[in-house]
Amino acid sequence: MSETQTISVPRPAPQLRCIGCGAVIAGADAAEDFRCRACGNLFEVEYPELLVRDSWRDSKPPTLAANDAARMGHPDSIHGAESWKELWRGRRLSRERLNRSGVWRFRELLPFMADDENVVTLEEGNTPLYALPRSAESLGIERLFAKHQGMNPTGSFKDTGMTAALSVAKERGFTWVACASTGNTSASMAAYAARAGMRSLVLIPEGKVAWGKLSQSLDYGAVTCQLKTDFDGCVSVLAELVRRAPVYLLNSVNPYRLEGQKTAGIELAEAMDWQVPDHLIVPGGNLANSSALGKGFLELLALRMIDRLPRISVIQAEGANPLFLSWTQHQGNEFAPVEAHTRATAIRIGNPASWQKAVGILRATGGWCEQVSEQEIALAKAEIGAEGIGCEPASAVTLAGLKKLRAQGHIGKQETVVLLLTGHTLKDPEYTIDLHRGKLLTAQETAAMPATQRAELEAMASAPQVLEPSVDAVMRVLDEAVQSRMVRG
Ligand code: F0G
């Protein structure tokens, strides 16, 4: 069945638009590596009967295609928009298969499936928005929240994109899907492929993927190859492989992934009663997610479902900071890959595919790009853990970055800030254990920390203690803990 055919309701014909040269093609005509045949850049999905965009480069929101809006039942008026909001909220009470997904309950903004039967879902999305009162207090911010995308079925935000793109693979009749990954995409892909009865091929950098993630891809039955290279090397191998074998590429260059991932932004706006936060802070790796979220907000704005955009800021690890360098040294106009090194292995990426999309969103929303050190990531991770929430190291860059943005005066006391936590704390328990045992950072790294930061990290560390099985021994530990808490306050 072709992408434009419909089953029950009339749907807009989706198309792909190249963000480089503006070429427009039908979804089914995309190259195997999802690169534009004319200029080599990436595509974005657009819905010409719903929203129109003159040029991707101008960073302006698309506008509503008003002529067909009424016929399609789309919200060309405030009244119409309100009725979609009601519809989406109401679906949370529904037991119907697609309504139980926090991605597909927004399907009016995902009109690219020809047949809903092909949708592969694990009931992703609908993730919590937690307050972070302790971090808020120490930063002097009144409203700080974490949108925890690690609370998805496979423990990362990738599930929201995977349900979208893997469903397209199914609809197009593929039996094999593949990705290069730092671990989360592969875990997610393996799970969704298994649910769909499809096979999956995973390429991951040997020794640089957290155990929790590697174990998932094995558990869900993926063919898992640990290549003796880094993530960027895995991407190069896969780009060639998809031209030689009939496998469907599920890296984030696949624009349908971003369609699913944009729903986290819609969900966030919904959770805040359609008053978007002033700031949304996201980690940057391959740089697709920041632009996916931005696309969601731009579409909501065009549909007049929100009345402004949040500033979207991207935070990178210092050792994997090509966007930071491009943004601060060349205003995002030039870009040079780096050799990436960070313990936040999820974002250990030196040559991110979607950097231009990320630059577009930084510009469109007025956000910033910052970098944070290994020490700052470690401390932020401990702080998010101490809020009873936890996340994987790559997600903790958001809090570390917020501290910097706040110190620079970019974020005011009364502004509402949301951190996007991308992965679950159990993804990388080794990092957490090393951190609390004081074995994560080298002596040199510890020595290089400002004294206050070092003291904070030491105070947060809570290493496990091996004891004789006696009540007295445990009582002693308890007393010490009570004492030290009283000293610390
Ligand atoms: N946070 C986590 C936990 C991730 O796994 C990733 C990316 C990111 C942030 C960065 O998102 O790439 O859209 O900028 N992980 C990919 C993977 C690359 O293969 O799992 P991005």
Q: What is the pLDDT of residue 298?
A: 94
Q: What is the pLDDT of residue 72?
A: 46
Q: Residue of the nearest CA to atom 11 in ligand 1?
A: 285
For ligand 1, the distance from its centroid to the CA atom of residue 342, given in whole angstroms, is 13
Mean pLDDT over each residue of the chain, to the nearest integer? 93
Out of 147, 151, 158, mutate this one to test ligand 1's pocket (max ligand atoms within 8 Å of CB): namely 158
Q: How confident is the model at residue 213 (pLDDT cuts 50, 70, 90)?
A: very high
Q: Are 463 and 484 in contact (CB under 8 A)?
A: no
For ligand 1, the distance from its centroid to the CA atom of residue 285, given in whole angstroms, is 5
Average pLDDT rounded to a whole number, residues 122-145: 98
Q: What is the pLDDT of residue 8?
A: 43
Residue range 64-82, pLDDT digits in tens: 665 445 444 554 444 566 7
For ligand 1, the distance from its centroid to the CA atom of residue 157, given in whole angstroms, is 8
Q: How confident is the model at residue 434 (pLDDT cuts 50, 70, 90)?
A: very high
Q: Ligand 1: which residues within 6 Å by Cβ?
A: 156, 158, 181-185, 252, 283-289, 346-347, 392, 394-395, 422-423
Strands 143-148 vs 129-131: parallel, antiparallel or unpaired = antiparallel
For ligand 1, the distance from its centroid to the CA atom of residue 333, given in whole angstroms, is 23
Helices 78-90 and 263-271 sit at what angle, rounded to 10 degrees?
100
Q: What is the pLDDT of residue 1?
A: 37
Q: What is the pLDDT of residue 486?
A: 63
Q: Which residue has the higher pLDDT, 9 or 128?
A: 128
Q: What is the pLDDT of residue 41?
A: 97
Q: Are 222 and 189 in contact (CB under 8 A)?
A: yes
Asked if the model's pLDDT at residue 459 lies above 70, the reply is yes
Q: Residue of the nearest CA to atom 12 in ligand 1?
A: 286
Asked if the model's pLDDT at residue 11 lies above 60, the reply is no
The 3 state secondary structure assigned to the chain is: CCCCCCCCCCCCCCEEEECCCCCEECHHHCCCCCECCCCCCEEEEECCCCEECCCCCCCCCCEECHHHHCCCCCCCCHHHHHHHHHHHHHHHHCCCCHHHCCCHHHHHHCCCCCCHHHCCCCCCCCCCEEECHHHHHHHCCCEEEEEEHHHCCCCECHHHHHHHHHHHHHHCCCCEEEEECCCHHHHHHHHHHHHHCCEEEEEEECCCCCHHHHHHHHHCCCEEEEECCCHHHHHHHHHHHHHHCCEEECCCCCHHHHHHHCHHHHHHHHHCCCCCCCEEEEECCCCCHHHHHHHHHHHHHHCCCCCCCCEEEEEEEHHHCHHHHHHHHHCCCCCCCCCCCCCCHHHCCCCCCCHHHHHHHHHHHCCCEEEECHHHHHHHHHHHHHCCCCCCHHHHHHHHHHHHHHHCCCCCCCCEEEEEECECHHHCHHHHHHHHCCCCCCHHHHHCCCHHHHHHHHHHCCCCCCCCCCHHHHHHHHHHHHHHHHHHC
pTM (predicted TM-score): 0.94
For ligand 1, the distance from its centroid to the CA atom of residue 346, given in whole angstroms, is 5
Q: What is the pLDDT of residue 55?
A: 66
Average pLDDT rounded to a whole number, residues 339-363: 97
Q: How confident is the model at residue 339 (pLDDT cuts 50, 70, 90)?
A: very high
Q: What is the pLDDT of residue 372?
A: 98
Average pLDDT rounded to a whole number, residues 166-183: 98
Question: Domain coordinates of the chain in residue numbers?
Answer: 129-154+262-460
Q: What is the pLDDT of residue 50?
A: 78
Q: Residue of the nearest CA to atom 6 in ligand 1?
A: 346
Q: How confident is the model at residue 268 (pLDDT cuts 50, 70, 90)?
A: very high
Q: How confident is the model at residue 366 (pLDDT cuts 50, 70, 90)?
A: very high
Q: What is the pLDDT of residue 53?
A: 72
Average pLDDT rounded to a whole number, residues 45-72: 67
What are the backbone angles phi and psi of residue 385, rounded to the nearest 5°? -65, -45
Q: What is the pLDDT of residue 395?
A: 98
What number does CATH give the domain 129-154+262-460?
Answer: 3.40.50.1100
For ligand 1, the distance from its centroid to the CA atom of residue 184, given in whole angstroms, is 7
Asked if the model's pLDDT at residue 7 lies above 60, the reply is no
